[in-house]
Amino acid sequence: MKYYIIAGEASGDLHGSNLIRGLQQLDPAADIRAWGGDKMAATGASLVKHYRDLAFMGFVEVVTHLSTIFKNLSFCKNDITLFKPDVLILIDYPGFNLRIAKWAKKAGFKVVYYISPQVWAWKESRVPSMKKTIDKMLVILPFEQGYFADKFDWAVEYVGHPLVGAIQAFQANKASHPLPASLTGELAGKKIIAVLPGSRKQEVRKKLPVMLAMAKYFPDFQFVVAQAPSLEDAFYAPFLAPYPNVKAVTGKTYALLMRSAAALVTSGTATLETALFGVPEVVCYKGNPISYQIAKRLIKVKYISLVNLIMDRMVVRELIQDDLNELQLKSALTSILEDQNVITRLQKDYRELKEILSAGGNASVNAARAIVQFIA
């Protein structure tokens, strides 16, 4: 079978790579062409475009890159037409993928969407169109199946959350995932605070200065920045330079989290990854002021972190926009490092979260099986 997969972000690259391995197990002759990243390329899929060339965040940023986005859409449609896949698999990345889904349906291709756009948070008006253009929707959050069924009479399939299996497999083989020897030598027994500032330049510029300011308040800890593979070391260097107890790693986020006492994490998938590793965290978000004000008026959910959304309560502290300042971040970080009651409660909530997301079994295998059966 021929599969065409589109993932436009780092998280999609991870989930896409695990999905590809599941497809290859079920269909050894699978011919896979993909938009994604290094992880998807490592599976043997033919990589068309890297997600680093696609990632634009926020309303203002998207508008300024419209020409590039439209060129990518046109190129993608032509590439799919030439490849003639048996199925088109779209992974999250709704601004781009929903446009491709609408075109692909009209062009006669089968469309599977894996990891639903977060329409329950905003742009619920997209759902009727999605229902018409997507042949099969695979969701990874437990409340999404009921949401689509109850509000839109749409039978979607819950396959479990792919991060659970990915992280369990990683933890089971800890010795194979060391931090760089140069870094571990410099740590000299210090406890690590992981800093996960995101993968886009716009968001890193906004948040990393405030996150790294914590290094001056906690000199006995080693702060380690998880640099995005899609961004060059030189981009990060000016942010790191003022602090002697700040280092960085690239492509080692899981190895870093597995050895961290706490973490400062940008909103998004990383908040869930950190929780599944059992690391106390503070969720940080600061965006373009105009983009933030627009989003604030449109987004309907109570929380910005997946941890809190899934649990439907405030499990991890969220510092958003103006609240992400040195004073409040210092207070929140002190709490998760020193307050044993807070730490104990967090670990209990993390265990419950993992149990909820594990209910569906191995999500990547479930998703691959659903796709192969759908084609058949």
Tens-digit pLDDT profile for residues 184-217: 666 667 899 999 999 888 889 999 999 999 999 9
Query: Do the domains at 2-160+359-375 and 175-358 have one common CATH topology?
Result: yes
For the chain, how are helix, strand and coil distributed in percent, rounded to 5?
Answer: 55, 15, 30
| Average pLDDT in the chain | 90
Q: What is the pLDDT of residue 301?
A: 62
Is it the case that residue 291 has pLDDT exceeding 70? Answer: no
Percent of the chain with pLDDT over 90: 73
Pick from 87, 96, 75: nearest CA to 32: 87
Q: What is the pLDDT of residue 336?
A: 98
Mean pLDDT of 315-321: 94
Is it the case that residue 300 has pLDDT exceeding 90? Answer: no
Q: What is the pLDDT of residue 103?
A: 98
Q: What is the pLDDT of residue 66?
A: 58
- Identify which has the larger pLDDT, 235 or 71: 235
Is it the case that residue 63 has pLDDT exceeding 50? Answer: no
Is it the case that residue 339 has pLDDT exceeding 80? Answer: yes
Give the CATH number of domain 175-358. Answer: 3.40.50.2000
Q: What is the pLDDT of residue 253?
A: 93
Is it the case that residue 53 has pLDDT exceeding 80? Answer: no
Mean pLDDT of 75-100: 96
Q: What is the pLDDT of residue 64?
A: 47
Annotated domain spans of the chain = 2-160+359-375, 175-358
Q: What is the rounded CA–CA span in Å between residue 335 and residue 339?
A: 5
Is it the case that residue 20 has pLDDT exceeding 60? Answer: yes
**Angle made by CA atoms 300, 144, 278, in degrees to the nearest 5:** 85
90 dihedral zone (left: phi>0; alpha: psi -120 to 50; beta): beta
Mean pLDDT of 117-137: 93
DSSP 78-121: HHHHHH--SEEEEES-HHHHHHHHHHHHHHT--EEEES---TTT
Q: Are 56 and 17 in contact (CB under 8 A)?
A: no
Percent of the chain with pLDDT over 70: 90
When the candidates are 1.10.490.10, 3.20.130.10, 3.40.50.2000, 3.30.420.40, the CATH number that belongs to 2-160+359-375 is 3.40.50.2000
Tens-digit pLDDT profile for residues 143-152: 899 999 999 9
Residue 143 corresponds to which tokens in the numbers above? 């409340």
* 60 band by pLDDT with thresholds 50, 70 and 90: very low
Dmax over Cα atoms in the chain, in whole Å?
60
* 363 band by pLDDT with thresholds 50, 70 and 90: very high
**Angle made by CA atoms 252, 167, 174, in degrees to the nearest 5:** 60
Q: What is the pLDDT of residue 366?
A: 94
Mean pLDDT of 343-355: 96
* 236 band by pLDDT with thresholds 50, 70 and 90: very high
